[in-house]
Every structure is written in C-alpha cells, then in structure tokens.
Homo-oligomer: A and B are copies of this chain.
Amino acid sequence: MAFIVQKFGGSSVANAERIRRVAGIIADTYVDDNDVVVVLSAQGDTTDDLIEKAKEINPNPSKREMDMLLSTGEQMSVALMAMALEKMGLPVVSLTGWQIGLSTNSEYGSARIKKIAGDRIRTELDRRRIVLVAGFQGINKYDDITTLGRGGSDTTAVAIAAAMHADLCQIYTDVEGVFTSDPRKVPNARKLDEITYDEMLELASLGAQVLHNRSVEMAKRYGVNLEVLSSFERKPGTKVKEVTKKVEQTKISGIAKDTNVARIAVMGLKDVPGIAFKVFQVMAKKKINVDIILQSIGRGDTQDISFTVPQSDTETARAALLEAQEAIGFSDLSVDESVAKVSIVGAGMMTSSGIAALMFEALYDAKVNIQMISTSEIKVSVLVDEKDADRAVTAIHSKFFD
C-alpha cells in the first residue's frame, strides 16, 4: 500500500477513448491497494479553443477573467474521468483547485502555490475513493480563481505529493520517459531508468521538454520521488531523484538541443572596467535571461561582447541596447537567430575528466563549427549553426552511447 499521485496531460485525456485508457491505468493503481490522487490537465485543444473564444470578444482580456475562463477546462476533464471510473464501478470523486484548498498568490495567469489544505483529499482517501484533482488552478486570498501558468498541472501534482507526503509522483506523458536525446531525431536515443533532479533541470532548460522546471525544482526542494512515464504504453519510465545509481561508463545522462536561441554581438565597446556590467544591466532591467557569454580579448582600445538570449526576447534586447547605445558606448550591434545550443548533461561530469574533450572531438569529426562554449557543474553547452545542430546531436550521441 502506497500513496501515489498521478498526473495526465491534455493529450492523454483528449477524447473518450483516451479517457477510458487512462481510467484503466488509474484503476489498476487503485486496486493494487494504493491511495490514488490523480491530477488532470484540460482535454487536448480545450484551452486553445477557450483562448480563441476570448480573443474574439476581447483581444486583451484581464488575466483575472482569463483564469476564470480557462480553469473550466480542467474541471471538465476531472468530471469526465470520474464518469469513466464510475462506469468501471470504482468509488471516485472529482475536485477543483478551490475544493482541495490550493491557495496561491494573486498573480493571475502565472500564480505561485502558497499552500495546499490537504484535509478534503485526506477525507476522500480515507473513504477509499480515487481522488481526481483539476490541475493548473487555485484560489487567491480574495477567493478568486487563479491559474498556475506553464507546467501548471505538473506543479499541482508535485505540490500535492509534497504537501501530503506521497510515496511517488508519476507524471504520465506521451513519451516513455527521459531519453539520452530526442528519440524522434536520434535513432539510437536510449531511455534512462534514473536521472537526478539537477540533470533533469538542465535538460528541461535546454529544450528537452518533458517536465517543466518549476515542478522539478519543487520536487527537488521537497524530496518528491518523481517518475516520468507514458500513458500509452504500460512500462516503467524514468525515475527522477536526488542521487542515482550510475554505472561508471555512463558519463552523461543526456544530450539536448535548443533552437530557441539567438546570438547578440555588441561590438566596438570601450575596453574599460565595468563595460560588461553596463551591457548586462540593460538586459537585466528587461528581465531577459542571458545565457552563454563570450567576451573578446581587447584589440587596441575596443572589445566585443557576445551572448545568447531566448529568440522570443531578441527584439526587446535589440531595442533596449540601441536605446542605451550612447550610455554604454558601442559602435555596432549584430543579431543572429540561425544558431542552436547543443548541450551534454551529467551529474558526475566535472569529476570525470575528458568529457568535454570527447564532445569536442565528436563535433570535430562531424565538421561542426563551435561558435561559443559554456560549462557548468553538470553540463557543457556549445553554440553551433542551426543547420548543423541535428548532425551535432547525433555525432555526440554516437560518441557517448554507441
């Protein structure tokens, strides 16, 4: 007997047939004598349809009313799933965010969870009911409905698991788990049995969109045992935990590619102390995340600084820099969006020499030019031409895993 939280995303509950399949997974977990809390997202395109309806009426609605509208999607999902489980003769109850007492701050559209009053869920579990919870939503101190933003249902599941000390939090998706690389791109990509929170965080931030960082961070903070697995195939997924048993030869956990990146070069800067600070202060003010940074060695009295930003922030960054051109003092600005970041991630990387060298060797063999390099405790990232990115991933994957 264990206490298991399960989360199913929108594609897993997109239609009646899929709802029935997921009901089967939930039922199996329940009849194995476990306490089961299930968090659901809105069905397939429901959220997009609702957004479209809203935009037809008001292209710029308040976030408060948008949350009021969107939260209905998850409520529909849990009611329909409850009906599917009732049909199987199982005791079940569906609950909204406010019904489980999930309180948040008042940032409509991207609210942060403050507390979950677990008593309603506890009462229902004690009655041996399967508890279905509408993900993505809560209420603020005014009793208004809030939504949690991207990855909100994952976060709901992890938060419930943390608040109620669940033994396991299973995140069901449309992939079998976490892979060494994107299995649609790299034929030899291997599913990992285990991965650490930190590795998972790096992989998520690098574009391997299995779990949203927010939920992984919360799982790490509260020590929630996570498992990522497929709702389409009944087999074990990838366990995410603090420490993993890693066999010596597996130097890295995964390879990720991120094409949502642009390189900005600020050229002809005065070669004086504090110049980098001035540049990045402008970025910080606009809340733009700067990633890889390359500061050139001064040529005479000027120098260049290059860095990467998310492509969605390119225009904001360009405008902010041009506005501050006089204050900073630079001659030219160039922006290149045809780049991609390729990264290897592994918890023991820095204690194991030669990992980065192996990556560079793979890229050299594949004739991929490296534009920039960045390293951290558990990853090495390189910036390459976008058209070379897939070739780079495959080459690195062969080097480490074949």
Contact = CB atoms under 8 A, between A and B. Distances in A.
Interface of A: 16, 19-20, 50, 53-54, 56-58, 60-62, 64-66, 68-69, 71-72, 75-76, 78-80, 82-84, 86-87, 93-94, 96, 98-99, 120, 143-145
A87 B56 CA distance: 11
Contacts of A68: 75, 78-79, 82, 94, 96
Contacts of A98: 98
Nearest to A65: B82
Contacts of A50: 76
A57 B19 contact: yes
Given A65-B94, A68-B78, A83 B57 contact: yes
A145 B95 CA distance: 9
Given A68-B78, A143-B120, A83 B99 contact: no
Contacts of A61: 82-83, 86-87
Given A66-B79, A69-B80, 10 more contacts: A16-B53, A20-B57, A57-B80, A58-B84, A58-B87, A68-B82, A69-B79, A71-B75, A72-B75, A99-B144
B57 A84 contact: yes
6 contacts: A50-B76, A58-B83, A65-B86, A72-B72, A99-B143, A120-B143
